[in-house]
Amino acid sequence: MIERTFLMIKPEGVERGLIGEIIGRFERKGFKILALNLTRLSREQAERQYEEHRGKDFFNDLVSYISSAPVVTFVIEGENAIATAREMAGATDPRQARPGTIRADYGIDVQRNVIHASDSEDSARREIALHFGDLANEDE
């Protein structure tokens, strides 16, 4: 099934010069890049991005971190994009991620794990809308 999903290269990935390497992995896998933006999230945008974690111990640290420096937000489209992107990203904790995944190859720790990937169709739609407006609802 052709899907769209949202991805974000986190501050350390941008700072370490990994943008091209990470995006290239998705392109080489056959995904089409529909939208891409280098930006710095405001605190409000960061809070909306991670709304599902509000109230958890790590929420404020996560929001502060993700809004501390530029990030790259992008949308890909292709066959089973959501599950495949999550598989390519790897486990949240880089130490537990399978070798060859983005987080295993480049992640530092649970918070600085280089990439965010939407975890469901609903999350993808919400996150695409948050960062790219109506792109989430356009016909494929």
Q: Please give the positions annotated as active site.
A: 116
Instruction: Name, in order, each residue with C-beta under 8 angstroms of 72's C-beta and a sequence gap of 6 or more.
Output: 8, 9, 13, 14, 19, 23, 36, 37, 38, 39
H or E, element range at 38 = strand 32-39
Instruction: Name, in order, each residue with C-beta under 8 angstroms of 14's C-beta and a sequence gap of 6 or more.
Output: 38, 69, 70, 71, 72
**3-state secondary structure at position 53:** helix
Closest by CA position to 29, among listed 51, 48, 7: 7
**Residue 68 neighbours by CB distance under 10 Å:** 14
